[in-house]
């Protein structure tokens, strides 16, 4: 009887360790803010259905308002082979006028010239 109880305890502890190591459905991966001023960014992945979002929080800078943005990026789909382009989107070279301040790169100061 003691052996059965000990075996059950060992199995329960093993199952608890497996469940504790399991990650949740939604995974957040930090993204480097790049040249944006103080923006916090994260990629959010729904690990069950493959949906992706980017979460951005940017502070108020001068006259530009801050805010939070949750931007849907689409759903992951498998390709047929490595390197397949699943979907292609193109956009103009300059950001639109309604781009959040944290994403604007044209508002950055010009690099300083080295003194000669």
Domain spans in the chain, listed from the N-terminal domain onward: 22-77
Return the structure tokens found at 116: 């000669």
Determine if the pTM surpasses 0.75.
no
18-29 pLDDT tens trace: 444 457 999 999
Phi, psi of 13 (to 5 degrees): -65, -40
100-112 pLDDT tens trace: 665 555 555 666 6
C-alpha distance across the termini of the chain, in Å: 88
How does DSSP assign 61-110, residue by residue?
Answer: BTTB--EEEEEEEEE----SSTT---------SSPPTTS-GGG-STTSPP
- Mean of the per-residue pLDDT values of the chain: 75
pLDDT (0 to 100) of residue 86: 85
pLDDT (0 to 100) of residue 22: 58
What residue ranges of the chain have pLDDT lower than 50? Answer: 2, 4-7, 9-10, 15-21
Do 56 and 68 form a contact (C-beta atoms < 8 A)? Answer: yes
Return the structure tokens found at 40: 């916090």
């Amino acid at each position: 009887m003691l052996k059965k109880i000990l075996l059950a305890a060992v199995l329960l502890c093993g199952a608890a360790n497996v469940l504790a190591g399991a990650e949740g459905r939604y995974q957040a991966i930090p993204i480097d803010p790049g040249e944006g001023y103080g923006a916090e960014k994260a990629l959010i992945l729904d690990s069950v259905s493959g949906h992706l979002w980017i979460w951005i929080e940017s502070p108020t800078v001068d006259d530009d308002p801050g805010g939070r943005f949750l931007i849907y990026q689409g759903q992951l789909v498998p390709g047929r082979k490595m390197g397949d382009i699943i979907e292609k989107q193109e956009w103009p070279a300059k950001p639109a006028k309604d781009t959040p301040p944290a994403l604007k790169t044209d508002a950055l100061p010009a690099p300083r010239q080295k003194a000669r």
